[in-house]
Structure 1
Amino acid sequence: MAAPGPARRLSERIVLDAAFGVVRDHGFTALSIRRVAAVLGVTPNALYTYVPDRAGLLRGMVERVMSAVDLGTLAIATLSPAERLVEFAVAMRRTLLGHPGGAALIMTGPIDGPHALLLNEALLRTLTETGLTLDDAARGAYALQVHVLGTVMLEAADGGDGDPAREEALAIERRAALERVDASGVPLTAQTADIVARYNTTAQFRWSVRRLVDGMLVAG
């Protein structure tokens, strides 16, 4: 009997694991079908059973990241719907920042796979519990997700990775940098330097999400 070919020992999970390994070890720009195939020791053609092209590879990776977002916070009975939404947003931010290539992946295309749709459904359910109409809940679910994704992109660009110690170190660096700025040109920024330095922190994120959620509920 002939030995199994490369495709028989592959799976979508193995291919995606290798893709995330490439991103972790070499950066997002190094990601390609050829590079993933090389990591797995197969020809690029062997991967096409599992991913049709690089775009398909990226979609699979986005789905993997979205599947890691914990929806459990949206079902905590001891919290109000507004509090659940804040805790969910914090958990989603932490997951995306902590996943190799997570921030870059969200810019590769639409986030519309099965896990993303389940996430949206859970948000709709929670928002309608606050008394919003379904249409307003749909708009609110999108606004909340955009806020999280935009924050993740800005924080990743600043070097954040979801680690609290790293977050604190970056805040200290930013505060020191602001000390070197001529305050006469930006007096209001200088007066609020302690807060500005901590823009990309969990505390600031919680503040902004809570204001967003409270605004939705008041408008509704």
Structure 2
Amino acid sequence: MRGSGHSVDSIVDAALSLLDEIGLPDLSMRRVAGALGVQPSALYWHVENKQTLLAALADRIVGEAAAGASVPDAARALRAALLAHRDGAEVVVSTAALGLGSGSLEGRLRDAYAAAGSADAARDATVLAQFLLGHCYLVQQRMQAAAIGAYDATPGEVAASTEADFEAGLAALTGAP
């Protein structure tokens, strides 16, 4: 793999593509290796294990969020990034729960709170991150249930109908209208 032209970025690219296609439960190192045309053992030159790969995926997903000029804008951009990928919220929450990855989701919120003059930006960011991750995880579960006919809506309707709930929670946590 060293001579194959692959890197952590190309591995994360392949894993993200597979995540969107097959979802987190079926994402494996073997499948990522297969998508890259290498043996699974070749991946370990670049990523230590599957959790390390998931942490890199989480950072990539969060990194896709546009920078927000305010706390609500940052939270909305992060919501959009999490919902843009199948199981995106689950990948990010599982990584955060284990203390892996860069912590960029909370970091972005902390920076936004600090810029807004929060007296306790770290705590405020933690609370908003927990709301954001829980909300997005619930929405994605409903979207997947809707996709197989187990929830009475289309996936798009689920995303649209839960946006008002997100905005109400965001307003409650930030005081923003």
TM above 0.5, one fold?
yes
- The TM-score with structure 2 as length reference comes to 0.80
1:143 to 127, 137, 148: 127
Corresponding residue number in structure 2 for 1:155: 139
Corresponding position: 1:99 with 2:85: yes
Separation of aligned partners in 1, 2:55 and 2:157? 33
Retained in 1: the 8 A contact 2:56–2:101? no
Separation of aligned partners in 2, 1:115 and 1:53? 20
Q: Percent identity?
A: 27
Corresponding residue number in structure 2 for 1:123: 112
1:205 to 138, 161, 166: 166
1:42 to 38, 43, 49: 38
Letter in 1 for 2:61: V
Superposition deviation, residue 112 in structure 1:
4.6
Letter in 2 for 1:68: E
Runs of 4+ in 1 over 6 A off after TM superposition: none
Retained in 2: the 8 A contact 1:127–1:140? no
Retained in 1: the 8 A contact 2:33–2:43? yes
Separation of aligned partners in 2, 1:140 and 1:70? 20
Retained in 1: the 8 A contact 2:105–2:129? no
Aligned pairs (5 A) from 1:167-178: 169-170=157-158
1:27 to 23, 36, 44: 23
- Gapped regions of structure 1 (runs ≥ 5): 1-5, 75-83, 161-165, 172-197, 216-220
The number of residues matched between the two structures is: 164
Superposition deviation, residue 18 in structure 1:
1.0
Q: 1:61 to 1:97 in 2, by over 3 A?
A: same
Superposition deviation, residue 59 in structure 1:
0.8
- Gapped regions of structure 2 (runs ≥ 5): 145-153
Q: CA RMSD in A?
A: 2.6
- The TM-score with structure 1 as length reference comes to 0.66
